[in-house]
Structure 1
Amino acid sequence: MTQRDPGPPRRPHPDAAGRHRVSRARTVRRGRVAALAASLLVTLVVVVLSAVRPSPEERVATEDTASTWGLEAALPTVTPSATPSPSPRSSQGARRTAEVEPTTFPQTGAGTFRTAAVVDVAGSGGGRDRTYTVEVEKGLLQDRATFARDVARVLGHERGWRTDGWSFTQVARDPDVRVMLASPDTVDRLCAPLLTRGEVSCRSGDRVVLNVKRWVRGVTYYGDDLTGYRTYLVNHEVGHALGKYHVGCPAPGAKAPVMLQQSKGLQGCVKNPWP
């Protein structure tokens, strides 16, 4: 059988080849555009994040500022000021802040005491004078000078034991009476064998031992009158050092005698911090 000559190979139609070339060119261009768009998108995201996210230095400054404001918020006498240099008013504010009393205390202090500097108060001296030191246990946050002024205010007051013919002079050493502010556990130790149970204060020998827990928190029977309760506490325990004993309420509605154990109750009397 004779085979037919297939003849020369067919060539693609010129129009078809052109269409293939155009198609490939379009595909390449689309790929390049997509890659460029993706690159631009990544660059834009980086720029936006850089603008929004603070630098490490800025983050530190922000954290420090927030921490400082949190501290000042707990101290109502402090007002943040935009003035960089201190003014007389801001200096007074700083002093007031330093005088804000702490509201926390350790259950156990160091067991040793620091003596406060002598405070000059009117009303001391004369009469049946008693000398005293003011001491604060190491580990307590209370300021010795402030505590000494509080004690002197009470002992030098005209409504205090001066009405009974006593007067008081603060000294630096060798006192008749040691007025001591102590942690609850130290109070228990110094007051033994009296049972203070970490809650109340006592007089033991020449020591008037005031419990910092009561000094800071007061008692229910004085409500929010912390100054009044502190006045009672000093007068009551110093009264023991003067030879005074506990008494009861004389009549319902009467002023409570200062030697009534007002930390434990008023027995129908009205609170009264003065002798």
Structure 2
Amino acid sequence: MGKRAVPQRRRRGRSRRGRGARLLLPVLALIVVSLGAGAALAHYNGEEQADNAAPPTAPPSPRATTAKPVTPPPKPPPKPAPEPSPKKPPKKTVVPRSGPGTFTAAQAAGAPTGTGGALRRYRVQVEDGVDVSAREAAAEIQRILAHPRGWAAHGRGRFQLVSGEADFVIRIATPATADKLCLENGLDTHGELNCETTAGVVVNLRRWMLGSPTFAGAPAEYRHLIINHEVGHEIGIRDHLGCPGPGRPAPVMMQQIKGLNGCRSNAYPYDEDGIYITGPVVS
């Protein structure tokens, strides 16, 4: 019996140690798990804090701290604005006082103008040595006589520009030559006026180029008055007319260069409604 009891005690001793080890293992495992979870939690919190923290500021580069600031080159001063060139005064029209007394005829012709009255053929001449083209002057006079407010448009005659035989001549002459031609017919024009003679119309070059100081219009418009007035005498209107009333248009047969007496300057025999512009007879 003693031999059997010894082994039984050994088995009980081994059994106790086995139970103790078995009890200790779960405790150790729990400790290990707790330690691992704590490390993991610490590692996670560290990462989260690292993620939320502001990124570290990079240290300035040596070049940025030692280089001198770059100063842009100074801008060149603005160029001064060019001074405006002084305006040239308008070229003064110089009208020669006299000429040779010889004339060049315009080599030009046209169709008759007008619808009633006798046909009157005219020729245009310009004194030699002056700055007026005979051909251009003839074309301008042709347009004046064909104007819708002129004589021909209202049955007071028909006119035709010709270069040969003519019923009358329209001469553009220097003041001295115009005075001479007009005086041959007893008319004193004082170097300023135009006239109508037995040979035709004499136009003072000064009036043709400069117009009149009493006329409110350009020289080109005043030329209408010259031709209409003198051709009016040529077709038989002998009398000069006066102003019909203050503010009214002056008759074309009024000597407007001598004063308007309250009228408005006017270069046409008829108004825009086709009514003849008349006034009291003065001479």
TM-score with structure 1 length normalisation?
A: 0.60
Q: Does residue 1:182 correspond to 2:173, yes or no?
A: yes
Q: Does residue 1:216 correspond to 2:206, yes or no?
A: no
Amino acid at match of 1:266: L
Aligned partner of 1:250 in structure 2 is: 244
Shift of 1:172: 1.5
The one-character-per-residue Cα deviations of 1:111-145 (angstroms, maximum 9, x if unpaired) are 11111022436735764211100000111110111
Aligned partner of 1:195 in structure 2 is: 188
Equivalent residues, number? 178
Amino acid at match of 2:127: E
Structure 1 unaligned spans of 5+: 1-72, 77-101
Amino acid at match of 2:265: K
- Secondary structure of 2:196's counterpart equals strand
Q: Does residue 1:123 correspond to 2:113, yes or no?
A: yes
How far apart, CA to CA, are the structure 1 residues paired with 2:212 and 2:156? 29
Preserved CA contact (<8 Å) 2:115 2:155: no
Root-mean-square deviation (CA, aligned residues, Å) is 2.2
How far apart, CA to CA, are the structure 1 residues paired with 2:160 and 2:115? 6
* 2:133 maps to which of 124, 130, 143: 143
Aligned partner of 2:260 in structure 1 is: 266
- Secondary structure of 1:251's counterpart equals coil
Preserved CA contact (<8 Å) 2:111 2:161: no
TM-score with structure 2 length normalisation?
A: 0.58
| 1:62-211 equivalence runs, <5 A | 103-120=93-110, 123=113, 127-162=117-152, 163-192=154-183, 193-211=186-204
How far apart, CA to CA, are the structure 2 residues paired with 1:269 and 1:200? 20
Preserved CA contact (<8 Å) 1:104 1:216: no
The one-character-per-residue Cα deviations of 1:174-201 (angstroms, maximum 9, x if unpaired) are 2111011000000110001211011111
Question: Are residues 179 and 202 of structure 1, via their aligned partners in 2, closer, same or farther at CA, if it must alter by over 3 Å?
Answer: same
Amino acid at match of 1:186: T
- Secondary structure of 1:187's counterpart equals helix
Amino acid at match of 1:112: T
- Secondary structure of 2:120's counterpart equals strand
Preserved CA contact (<8 Å) 2:123 2:166: yes
Preserved CA contact (<8 Å) 1:121 1:156: no
Structure 1 stretches of at least 4 aligned residues deviating more than 4 Å after TM superposition: 73-76
Preserved CA contact (<8 Å) 1:133 1:172: yes
- Secondary structure of 2:257's counterpart equals coil
Shift of 1:103: 2.6
Shift of 1:158: 2.0
Q: Does residue 1:237 correspond to 2:230, yes or no?
A: yes
Shift of 1:106: 1.6
How far apart, CA to CA, are the structure 2 residues paired with 1:237 and 1:149? 17
Shift of 1:156: 1.4
How far apart, CA to CA, are the structure 2 residues paired with 1:271 and 1:250? 12
Question: Are residues 109 and 124 of structure 1, via their aligned partners in 2, closer, same or farther at CA, if it must alter by over 3 Å?
Answer: farther
- Secondary structure of 1:220's counterpart equals coil
Shift of 1:224: 4.5
Preserved CA contact (<8 Å) 1:256 1:272: yes
Shift of 1:173: 2.3
How far apart, CA to CA, are the structure 2 residues paired with 1:175 and 1:122? 13
Preserved CA contact (<8 Å) 1:123 1:158: no
How far apart, CA to CA, are the structure 1 residues paired with 2:89 and 2:163? 35
- Paired-residue identity, %: 39
Amino acid at match of 2:164: R
Amino acid at match of 2:107: A
